[in-house]
Amino acid sequence: MNRPAHAPAPLPEPTIHLSEGLHCLHQYYTIDAQAMRSLSAADRIVGKDELCDILSPSYHGAPERLQVCAVSGDRADLGIMMLDKDPLRLDALTQDIRASRLGTALKRAYSFVSITEISEYVPTVEQYAEKLRLHGAKADDPAYLAKVKAYEQRLPMMNQQRLYPEMPAWPVLCFYPMNKIRDPHANWYQLPFSERSNLMAEHATSGIKFAGRVSQLITAATGLDDWEWGVTLWGRSPEYIKEIVYTMRFDNASARYAEFGPFYMGYIMSPEEACKHLRIG
């Protein structure tokens, strides 16, 4: 007797929203001094108020999360990081800036499109427990059971922060894109998963040492932008940014397999503070 073929599973409805997590956009602008000078004094004043309104949390189209920074160096002047469920809400804010009175004087210098994710290298509770046993822990040891229980309790909170990150109210914001290289002598994508996982565990251990001084968010950009990941670092002080990047470059995951893009170093301000600092208005 012939068995009926199983009907294919229904396809999900088309959507621009993610099944979990948020869209992320880093946007950097330079100020065109000549274009700014060509505006009337009244247009500059009104334009400054308009820009501050667009970048305000109370703006009618404000994304769920947004931070503004004044950027150090000549790569950019103004930096904006934003996250939202709807990618068009992020783009709409940039279009509102372009269409504003200061739009001709604010030139987009760089942007990076990515999404939040839970990395495949974040161990499950079972994988964490197995790793402890491989390092000599006994399954009936109270210390082993306590470590597994503690990890089980904090894992949901860690994954929530990865997918729906809260932006710390710290003064320093650093962003850079990165890849894992495909050099014939050091091809990350030809390593077995177990080896990649161990390398990333070493990398994570280096980063944990900076808890309370640096907060890190890794967003995924494969297929969305020219680089595979974006790294956002918030710091209590600029020196901590330098220290964590320097320290982690000695890990094999970075020293042998990482490629870094341009760094954008900024100092977080309110829109009004940023406009004042950048002599807008």
Least Cα distance to 27 among 102, 65, 79 occurs for 79
Active-site residue set: 176
Q: Report d(CA 83, CA 24) in Å as an integer.
A: 4
Q: Write phi, then psi, for 272 (nearest 5 degrees).
A: -65, -40
Q: Report d(CA 123, CA 201) in Å as an integer.
A: 9
User: Which residues are within 8 A (CB) of 170 and not within 5 positions of it... i.e. 6 or more apart?
Assistant: 215, 234, 235, 236, 268
CB half-sphere exposure, 171, CA atoms < 13 A: 7
Q: Are 42 and 49 in contact (CB under 8 A)?
A: no
